Amino acid sequence: MKNYRILADYYADASQGFEVQNPDRTFISWEMPVREVLKEFRHLLKIETYGVLSLVSFHYPVRIGNMILENFRTQYRQENDPRPFKTYEAHCVNSTQEMHGFAEIHQNFLKLLSKPTDVFYHQQEFLRCVFDLSGIDFVLYKQTLQQGYVLLRWVNNRSYPQLLENTAYEKAMQLSAQLILENSNLHLFRDYMRNLYIKETPLVVREKFADKTLIWRDDYNQCLCFSKGDRTHIYDLEDVDYLSIKEVDDGRIGFYSELNVHLKSEYGTPIRVIYFSGEPGKVAFFINYKEEIEKVTQQQVILL
């Protein structure tokens, strides 16, 4: 069995998007937001929903560059999401000869694309390489013979600063209660492409607190916020179920603790907001402020 084809023709559009092989040959840009893809091309999609996660595949094969892929897929959590899909992937199988499939695909892209930006080896075995498609990281993974496929993944690392804008809230925001956390090892999770609740910090907060780590509650707008520098997490108070603290003191994983928000709309899945980078035997931080955090957020805080 082989679920992909490499075409002899050359196509220079891999950095722009992919072409669904329906009769009309529909081209979809990497830039297109989730909500627009779902609205305009739903007839091309097969969607399976499991809780808050929806898995998307296509009724037709997809062409990216000079490859035709039969099991190209992606996923989303919010149907009205204004962000592009973060990740697409395909599992490529070439009969039972996974090694041959990897070599064939790898050599094809070495010919077509520029030099890989990253190559990873483990115990002198080549396992992964990354190509840059103008901000789309195309990653080729060699899976094990037991797994029997080659994994191709396209990760959108392009910048979309318009997603950070929050002018309406900035004009109306109020500080009802606040807590400053002082420690140079505190960091805010900042990836707005993975967390739609991350916005630009309102100017009045930046001017007053600069780069301090801040938790605040806005009773007027019914918001719970976590900020540091130019980024702020903004959550609807009515949607917040509880907060949690996770502590990790393990040399195999790391030494840190996290403060998480659990939303009712996300079925309680922890959303990481602030983390403390510690060292062996010294990972506790948020637990020391548990009562103060509960007071300012008016939410229960539990230790996971």
Domain ranges of the chain: 4-156, 161-303
How sure is the predictor about 145, in pLDDT bands with cuts at 50, 70 and 90?
very low
Q: What mean pLDDT comes out for the span 178-190?
A: 96
Give the pLDDT score at 144: 53
What is this structure's pTM? 0.80
- Contact status, residue 45 vs residue 56, Cβ threshold 8 Å: yes
For 98, the enclosing helix (H) or strand (E) is helix 98-112
More confident residue, 6 or 289: 289
For 224, the enclosing helix (H) or strand (E) is strand 223-228
Answer CATH for 161-303 from 2.30.30, 2.30.29, 2.60.120, 2.60.40: 2.30.29
Q: What mean pLDDT comes out for the span 137-150?
A: 71
As a whole number of angstroms, the distance between CA 124 and CA 152 comes to 21
User: At 70, is the secondary structure helix, strand, or coil?
Assistant: coil
Does 248 have pLDDT greater than 80?
Answer: yes
As a whole number of angstroms, the distance between CA 262 and CA 271 comes to 6
Does 139 have pLDDT greater than 50?
Answer: yes
How sure is the predictor about 238, in pLDDT bands with cuts at 50, 70 and 90?
very high
The number of helices, as runs of H, and strands, as runs of E, in the chain is 5, 23
Pairing of strands 301-303, 240-250: parallel
Residue 41: DSSP 8-state: S
As a whole number of angstroms, the distance between CA 129 and CA 120 comes to 6
* Mean residue pLDDT across the chain: 90
Give the pLDDT score at 4: 87
Q: What mean pLDDT comes out for the span 222-249?
A: 96
Q: What mean pLDDT comes out for the span 141-150?
A: 63
Q: Helices (DSSP H) in 173-301: which residue ranges?
A: 203-209, 290-297
Residue 266: DSSP 8-state: G
Phi, psi of 8 (to 5 degrees): -75, -30
- Contact status, residue 172 vs residue 113, Cβ threshold 8 Å: no
Does 125 have pLDDT greater than 60?
Answer: no
How sure is the predictor about 94, in pLDDT bands with cuts at 50, 70 and 90?
confident
Residue 279: DSSP 8-state: B
Displacement of CA 103 from its chain's centroid (Å): 29
Does 124 have pLDDT greater than 60?
Answer: no
Does 41 have pLDDT greater than 90?
Answer: yes
Q: How many CB atoms lie within 10 A of CB 202?
A: 22
Question: What digits encode the pLDDT tens for the residues 157-182?
Answer: 999 999 999 999 999 999 999 999 99
- Contact status, residue 87 vs residue 193, Cβ threshold 8 Å: no
Does 147 have pLDDT greater than 60?
Answer: no
Does 115 have pLDDT greater than 90?
Answer: no
Rounded to the nearest 5 percent, the helix, strand and coil shares of the chain are 20, 45, 35
| Partner residues linked to 126 by β-bridges | 121
Worst-scoring range by mean pLDDT, 40-44, 142-146, 191-195, 213-217? 142-146
Structure tokens at 138: 């195309």
- Contact status, residue 171 vs residue 137, Cβ threshold 8 Å: no
Q: Tokens 């500080």: give the residue.
A: 175
